[in-house]
Structure 1
Amino acid sequence: MPAVVETYQKIKDLRDKDKHEKQKDYQSAVETFEEQAGALYEKLREKEQAVEQFNDTLSHGSVQAHAFVQHRQYIEHLDSALDDLQPSVQQARLKMEHARHVLTDAYVEVKKYEKLIDMKEEEHMQWMKHEEHRHMDELSMNQYMKFFNR
């Protein structure tokens, strides 16, 4: 293998190592996003269930004023929690998307070096074939000259 290909191989290996680090970063960002989104989903579901339960209670009869106030405070508390969670979910989504773009760029870099290595190896093989043919032509010419000079 020519020295140029070895150099490109070393660079590709470094880029590949970097790609693996980017994969870990992306996976971590995905997990963080899933945790944040899961918490948001749970709060939304909790609010939905509370509203449904209260509506069921209303449809089955009268509700005392303090229960109504208590329910309203509970819904406001859930709304506040949802408002607090939404920015962190959005931030986690943005980090995940950024990590995905960085990972994609790392994949592209590795692929570039793989293609470059393949091209250089192909060039080297073509050069070897050319040299082999040239050497065979030279041997042939020498044999012909020996035979002709007798």
Structure 2
Amino acid sequence: MKKKGFTLIELIVVLFIMSIIIGVASIRFNVIDKIKANMELQTLINDVDYAKMKAIATGQTTYIKFGKDSYIVKIHDTFIEDKIFRQLDYITFLHFSTSNDGNLIEFNSNGSVTYPGTVSINVSDKAGNTKNYELVVIVGGGHARIREEQKRIHTY
């Protein structure tokens, strides 16, 4: 009587073929780049929340200063070397509509924002796919969120 089933070699061959197909598909559809770009966006919002909490915890003003493809989170006190510097691979900061003259978001010791506003963000992966977002920071409680940038429709 012959038993029905798969041998170990047959299972290993099937797993090997499946891993090749999944590897090619992930490269083909840029899944890894999309995941990394989303992780950078999530890290950005986490760092904004960190700056707010750091200002409340230390009782000192904390700021986030944006560059073209990087940002720094730092306490204003020059004697404390507690800063975060992030160089970004997928995110580019395009436009800053804050109430100060530069690219700065500042949190006071109570967690409120001195310079509220929006920061336009361009996220592009290695395949050239781009998507625009906005980092919105409001005065009341220093809340921050990232949203998809709204398409502006001109009416005449």
TM-score clears 0.5: no
Choose between structure 1 and 2: higher strand proportion: 2
Structure possessing the higher radius of gyration over alpha carbons: 1
Relative contact order higher in (CA < 8 Å, ≥ 6 apart):
1
TM-score relative to the length of structure 1: 0.29
Choose between structure 1 and 2: higher helix proportion: 1
TM-score relative to the length of structure 2: 0.28
